[in-house]
Chain A
Amino acid sequence: AQSVTQPDIHITVSEGASLELRCNYSYGATPYLFWYVQSPGQGLQLLLKYFSGDTLVQGIKGFEAEFKRSQSSFNLRKPSVHWSDAAEYFCAVGAGGNEKLTFGTGTRLTIIP
């Protein structure tokens, strides 16, 4: 069975500082990996995805993530956060591109001035 672990429940970062959100997955074959962001009262929005090719993927809003098969990780990074990045971030894994997704428990990001 596939699973996702997001070890950090809550992270606080100063505006302008760099960010890394951790994600570890468990899946037997090549996973389809996703990062979604959820703002209060909003639906989930896809930030980026990986399923093949270059292991460093670029997404929207200046985010990037790196797939490391040896570490079963897909960490999300941003070099300089903005106050508008405050939200809940979810990592997800799927058996295929359009198969059901298994989500982690999320990381809540707080930005301080």
Chain B
Amino acid sequence: DTGVSQNPRHKITKRGQNVTFRCDPISEHNRLYWYRQTLGQGPEFLTYFQNEAQLEKSRLLSDRFSAERPKGSFSTLEIQRTEQGDSAMYLCASSHIDVGTYEQYFGPGTRLTVT
């Protein structure tokens, strides 16, 4: 069990550019979640997948945001035409719904800075 990994760990981009983040969940975890955390706040839910199906998206997820989990394993989160307000820590978590432990395991996050 190597844990949830996220890449890159840090990303600095200029306003208007597109960025893509990757999350690799714990092997065989069928649920994958994306959260966003801004300074001084708790994580806020963005979206989650069960296998490759995207089950729910938050209203926080504007049209500029898109997430995929094409083969039910890793996931990508893309932000198009970044804005300064997108600067945040993007957290990924995974869980296994059949095990019954009800625990989401979080990755270290990707810190995005939009200049």
A residues at B contact (CB < 8 Å): 4, 32, 36, 41-46, 49, 51, 90, 92, 94, 96-98, 100-106
Residue of B nearest to A104 (CB): B42
What residues on B are CB-neighbors of A45 within 8 Å?
106
| A98 touches which of B31, B40, B45, B108 (Cβ 8 Å) | B31
Contact A43 B102 (CB under 8 A): no
Question: In the bound complex, how far is the Cα of B108 from the Cα of A46, in angstroms?
Answer: 13
Please list 23 pairs of residues, one from A and one from B, whose beta carbons are closer than 8 Å in the complex, sorted by A's number. Answer: A4-B42, A32-B102, A43-B91, A43-B108, A44-B93, A45-B106, A49-B103, A94-B102, A97-B100, A97-B101, A98-B31, A98-B102, A100-B33, A100-B56, A100-B58, A101-B35, A101-B43, A102-B45, A103-B43, A103-B44, A105-B41, A105-B42, A106-B41
What residues on B are CB-neighbors of A46 within 8 Å?
103-105
Question: In the bound complex, how far is the Cα of B44 from the Cα of A4, in angstroms?
Answer: 12
> How many A-B Cβ pairs are below 8 Å?
57
What residues on A are CB-neighbors of B108 within 8 Å?
41-43
Contact A97 B102 (CB under 8 A): yes
Q: Which of B42, B104, B105, B108 has the most CB of A within 10 A?
A: B42
Q: Top 10 closest A-B pairs, CB basis?
A: A97-B102, A103-B42, A44-B106, A43-B106, A100-B45, A98-B97, A43-B108, A103-B43, A90-B42, A98-B95
Question: In the bound complex, how far is the Cα of B93 from the Cα of A44, in angstroms?
Answer: 9
Does chain A have a CB within 8 A of B109? Answer: yes
Instruction: Give, as a whole number of angstroms, the nearest-CB distance from B26 to chain A.
Output: 12
B residues at A contact (CB < 8 Å): 4, 31, 33, 35, 40-45, 48, 56, 58, 91, 93, 95, 97, 100-109
Contact A105 B91 (CB under 8 A): no
Residue of A nearest to B6 (CB): A43
Q: Which of A94, A96, A100 has the most CB of B within 10 A?
A: A100
Contact B48 A100 (CB under 8 A): yes
What residues on A are CB-neighbors of B97 within 8 Å?
97-98
What residues on A are CB-neighbors of B107 within 8 Å?
43
Instruction: Give, as a whole number of angstroms, the nearest-CB distance from B84 to chain A.
Output: 22
